[in-house]
Chains A and B, each alone.
Chain A
Amino acid sequence: GIQVEQSPPDLILQEGANSTLRCNFSDSVNNLQWFHQNPWGQLINLFYIPSGTKQNGRLSATTVATERYSLLYISSSQTTDSGVYFCAVESNAGGTSYGKLTFGQGTILTVHP
């Protein structure tokens, strides 16, 4: 099956700093989503971005599908940005996958005041 690798595994920032999280995947995809899991476990949708670039406030994401990676940018980080960031993909290799997502291991972000 498709492999998803996220880096870095851990990231510690001071409030106000910028950061870039990376997601590499091993095969072509027809769905890529970024999520933020808050301390209570809720997964919050950040972006649906199988290709191209999107921005939402202080967050933006870019996926270069031909090179099989995606980047999540967080600018002017705040303490409320702390949590785990997951990249998840749906492979389009080998026929239909019916929407099944494969998750990376996540990046644990800690923002200090």
Chain B
Amino acid sequence: GAVVSQHPSWVICKSGTSVKIECRSLDFQATTMFWYRQFPKQSLMLMATSNEGSKATYEQGVEKDKFLINHASLTLSTLTVTSAHPEDSSFYICSASWGDTQYFGPGTRLTVL
């Protein structure tokens, strides 16, 4: 149990386009999901907390108009990177809490050309 999926696994896009990443909890319901960003050879940095039915809470320094988060149901949260630029290239990982433990998706590697 406690499986989290992400789609797509990787995406390459042109500068200026928008990219949507989906995060799903497959076998449990998650009222709260989290979005992280990881640069090469670095640790994970929390970007935002996604709450079902309400607005996301963004960490300091994260542009909420740049990284749009929607938590439409108890099993789905989406992250949209709007008007992507090369500096947005990164590994994006979501997680969901089940009980006291957070479970992580496999990540989405975004490359902006």
The interface of chain A, by Cβ under 8 A from chain B, is 31, 33, 35, 40-43, 45, 48, 86, 88, 98-106
How many chain B residues touch A (Cβ–Cβ < 8 Å)? 22
Q: How distant is the Cα of A105 from the Cα of B27 in the complex, in angstroms?
A: 30
What does the 1/0 interface line of B70-108 toward A look like (CB < 8 Å)?
000000000000000000000101010100111110110
- Of the candidates B43, B101, B103, B107, the one whose C-beta lies within 8 Å of that of A103 is B43
Q: CB distance A48 to B106 under 8 Å?
A: no
| Most chain A CB neighbours (cut-off 10 Å) among B45, B57, B102, B106 | B102
Interfacial chain A residues near B34, Cβ < 8 Å: 99-101
A42-B43 contact, Cβ under 8 Å, with A98-B32, A99-B34: no
Interfacial chain B residues near A104, Cβ < 8 Å: 43
Q: How distant is the Cα of A103 from the Cα of B101 in the complex, in angstroms?
A: 14
Interfacial chain A residues near B102, Cβ < 8 Å: 33, 88, 99, 101
Q: CB distance B46 to A100 under 8 Å?
A: yes
Q: How distant is the Cα of A99 from the Cα of B49 in the complex, in angstroms?
A: 9
CB under 8 Å from chain A, chain B span 26-45: 32, 34, 38, 42-45
Interfacial chain B residues near A103, Cβ < 8 Å: 43-45
- Of the candidates A48, A86, A98, the one whose C-beta lies within 8 Å of that of B44 is A86
